[in-house]
Structure 1
Amino acid sequence: MAEAVLIDFFGLKLNSQSNCVLLKTLNAVQYLHATNTKFLYIMHCCNLRCENDGEHGDSELEMINSLRALPVGFEVISNSSMAATLYIIKQKLDEKNLSSIKIMTTLQRKALMKVFIDQLFTDVYHFEFEDLPLDLGKSHIKESIELNTVTNQELEEIQNDIKTYLRSLPGLKGELTILTSSLIPDTFIHGFTTRTGGISYLPTLSSFNLFSSAKRRDPKAVVQENLRRLAQAAGFDSEKFHRIKTDHANGIWIMGKKEPDSYDGITTNQRGVTVAALGADCLPLVFADPVKKACGVAHSGWRGTLLGVAMATVNALVAEYGCRLEDILVVMGPSVGPCCFTLPRDSAKAFYNLDPQCVRLVDSPNPYVDIRRATRILLERGGILPQNIQGDSKSDQNQNLDLCTSCHPDMFFSHVRDGINFGSQIGFILIRE
């Protein structure tokens, strides 16, 4: 049974006769759904596919007033943009943690509505459609050749509607902030994001979430707008952006070669192309060689750390671009610290065997583990110079690169702290064009 019902009155041409039909329809909907459905929303406005008739006519104003006077249980959401209307409803659904939704719409608009839903929602939500028993305004809608298809022009209009609306939203939780390292020269643009300045509004995802998945409520369109704002602030092209496809292992994609299905490191010597590693407790690593003008990123969780993903990235730089170990610079971004990260004793022993100082309370069921220290040890053993590694207590500090993500909820996302619906920050780098 649907937890919420959305009734789509967008684009309907209203007159005295249709007003009567619409109100009868609403009364029927309320009778059928009010008992088992928590919320009934009415979407009403001029559709981007309708002719612009200027101001509301008397009958339309009459209809709007009638909608506003409906019994308790209905809520009218009206906006000049379909994207804005659906996004406002999405916020209301998320606030109430609802995910099962029925949409009542006309046959002519069903395909369009599905495109909006695909853009603004994720697989967390479950939609079903029911035909709205109306045949109103049909002559005022530019129908597709087939009712269940959307033309390329209509798709472009919908995408532009969504982009325009999302761009209009204010940044949340403060200014967009990028952490940088003094170790990386100006040959490169690089940084590590925090959680402020984006448009993601859900508590554990707000506000600068940079990853969307089927299991989270933040859609790709919102993440893409956050990325656009980052690109504008940092000075890179968001269309030339590549994010690691995390596998929690040690696979590396050498850009220019066939892209694997999943990998935890990327290397490139292409100018103007941004590579990025996700992080929300896991360690984002940025690599740069100013001599050979090559760079890379890696995602290093505890499994990837033990599997040697950091040195796998270094080895790819050496093998593919002729980099020398003494020229490679490595910056560790914010991650969970040994104050907050624990592992089962059997898993923690692997870190203890690497260096006893990587583990605290080693005999407890869940010892505390320091993946940052372990990463430095492995990099130094692999030939990276100690002074060419930054982002931990052994290096000089710059803009809080070594802060624990779990301990600083105002600055960072954290899986350890927030659970499965956590947001993600990134570490990124590119070679200036």
Structure 2
Amino acid sequence: MVEAVLVDLFSLPANLQDNIQGSLCNTLETIEKCSSICAPFVYVMCCQRQGSERKGEQEFLLPALGGFQSLERTLEVVFAPTTAAALYTIKQRLDEKDLSIIKVILPTVRKDSMKVYIDYLFTAVYQFEFEDLQMVSDCENIQISEPQGEGQTLLSQDIALIRSEIEMHLESLPSLKGELTILRSSLIPDDVFLHGFTTRTGGISYIPTLSSCNLFSSFKRRDPQVVVKENLRRLANAAGFNPEAFRRVKVDHANAVCIMGKTEPDSYDGIVTDQKGVTLAAPGADCIPVLFADPVRKACGAAHSGWKGTLLGVSMATVNAMVSAYGCNVKDILVVLGPSVGPCCYKLPYESAKEFHRIDPKCVRLFDSATPYIDIRRATRILLERGGVLPENIQDDSITDQNQNITFCTACHPDKFYSHFRDGTNFGTQIGFISIRD
């Protein structure tokens, strides 16, 4: 069932903008009579002409509603200078109400371009259906579009212009939830490596569980890739790396490692390089983002270590990849565990907990319960030390000086970090990143 209707009047000719009331009245007739749509929310997007500011648009348009009193509380008209700005504003309204099934009524000539805007600004969470706008009134001068055939396929340069328009709009938006903050480890030498762990502040993601510096997009979440890209651009500017030379692991919750310059696996939770200026990253929203640095051989790596990856030894697999690919000595490699769910909060079913108990009984608390508490950080340290990494070369939550602690519990700090465990399926993601300075 359609949850919202979007009426695209953005291409309304300038000479008809002054008669928007009559035009809107005809549009609502189209919705009620022609489309047989019974939707609780209707959004109308219109062009805000340069040099004009419309204030109180809703009050301005209410007299035109006439017999549409049922829509007065659920209709919103959005004036904006660009289609990207108007559509992004409407997306915010849809997300506020958790609406996902949208009917778009628009002139035929706008259909192909609108689909491109939607592809960039929305994800697979949303469902769109399209209907031609054929709005004719008794007055001949209020005729927005003639019935015509399907629009012509857009040229690549048209698509590029749309993408540029979207990116420019997103760049203009203010940061949310405070300034962008990066946590850095004192263990990794700053003169050789650029690195850090992100927090949730300083981006433009506005959905509460994704707000604000979400750095991962998927078909299950409401943050599109263009928003994540803008968050990454802001992070890159603040941290000082090139967002175009950025490589994030392709998470599989296993232990495969990608060695840059060799054949890239379809999925992997660890990545290593000795190339300068390439930033490697691992996501985390409870799972551990782990960073690796060898200041002697000047090589680095990043790994994503959830409970499955921890049991499979993904961190030690990343160390071994650096040793085999770049001739690193395991005793030179520094390892830093970033923000992740702590043993204070994290529970697993008993059968999974048994695997951690086998690594070391201290990795499990309340072992006899149905869902014991698990310490995936301690398990990671133990496996690294068994593999030859020096204890003093590992930084985690066991650090003595808490002023230097960066391995916070993500579930315990909702103001600073995202947490899948805490927030559910539409969760945001922070990252750990590292590169070798030029």
The TM-score with structure 1 as length reference comes to 0.91
The 5 Å alignment of 1:11-410 reads 11-15=11-15, 23-31=25-33, 36-45=38-47, 65-66=60-61, 69-70=64-65, 71=69, 72=72, 73-134=74-135, 147-186=151-190, 187-394=192-399, 396-397=401-402, 399-410=404-415
In 2, distance between residues paired with 1:68 and 1:373? 67
In 1, distance between residues paired with 2:373 and 2:26? 64
Report deviation, 1:14: 4.8
Kept in 1: contact 2:107–2:144 (CA 8 A): no
Kept in 1: contact 2:255–2:270 (CA 8 A): yes
In 2, distance between residues paired with 1:35 and 1:238? 44
In 2, distance between residues paired with 1:309 and 1:115? 39
Q: Which amino acid in structure 2 is aligned with residue 167 of structure 1?
A: E
**Structure 2: which 5+ runs fail to align?**
137-142
Q: Which amino acid in structure 1 is aligned with residue 12 of structure 2?
A: L
User: Relative to structure 1, is the Cα distance of residues 138 and 5 closer, same or farther in structure 2, using a 3 angstrom cutoff?
Assistant: closer
Q: Which amino acid in structure 2 is aligned with residue 28 of structure 1?
A: T
In 2, distance between residues paired with 1:55 and 1:329? 57
Q: Which amino acid in structure 2 is aligned with residue 211 of structure 1?
A: F
User: Relative to structure 1, is the Cα distance of residues 398 and 389 closer, same or farther in structure 2, using a 3 angstrom cutoff?
Assistant: farther
- Give the aligned CA root-mean-square deviation in angstroms: 2.5
In 1, distance between residues paired with 2:354 and 2:293? 32
**Structure 1: which 5+ runs fail to align?**
47-51, 57-61
Secondary structure of residue in 2 paired with 1:342: coil
| Equivalence for 1:7 | 7
* 1:174-216 C-alpha deviation (Å, 9 max, x unpaired): 1100000001112110000000111111111111100000000
Q: Which amino acid in structure 1 is aligned with residue 104 of structure 2?
A: I
In 2, distance between residues paired with 1:363 and 1:85? 56
User: Relative to structure 1, is the Cα distance of residues 95 and 132 closer, same or farther in structure 2, using a 3 angstrom cutoff?
Assistant: same
In 2, distance between residues paired with 1:398 and 1:429? 22
Kept in 2: contact 1:236–1:274 (CA 8 A): yes
In 1, distance between residues paired with 2:24 and 2:377? 63
Kept in 2: contact 1:124–1:217 (CA 8 A): yes
| Equivalence for 1:49 | none
In 2, distance between residues paired with 1:23 and 1:15? 17
Kept in 2: contact 1:122–1:214 (CA 8 A): yes
Kept in 1: contact 2:135–2:145 (CA 8 A): no
Secondary structure of residue in 2 paired with 1:78: strand
Secondary structure of residue in 2 paired with 1:392: coil
In 1, distance between residues paired with 2:174 and 2:352? 44
In 1, distance between residues paired with 2:163 and 2:329? 46
User: Relative to structure 1, is the Cα distance of residues 205 and 248 closer, same or farther in structure 2, using a 3 angstrom cutoff?
Assistant: same
Secondary structure of residue in 1 paired with 2:356: helix
Percentage of identical aligned residues: 62
Q: Which amino acid in structure 1 is aligned with residue 172 of structure 2?
A: S
In 1, distance between residues paired with 2:14 and 2:322? 65
Kept in 2: contact 1:200–1:218 (CA 8 A): yes
Q: What is the number of residues matched between the two proteins?
A: 418
In 2, distance between residues paired with 1:420 and 1:132? 36
In 2, distance between residues paired with 1:190 and 1:376? 20
The match for 1:416 among 416, 421, 425 is 421
Q: Which moved more, 1:297-306 or 1:149-158?
A: 149-158
Kept in 2: contact 1:387–1:395 (CA 8 A): no
In 1, distance between residues paired with 2:283 and 2:257? 14
In 2, distance between residues paired with 1:176 and 1:66? 40
Report deviation, 1:258: 1.3
Report deviation, 1:106: 1.0
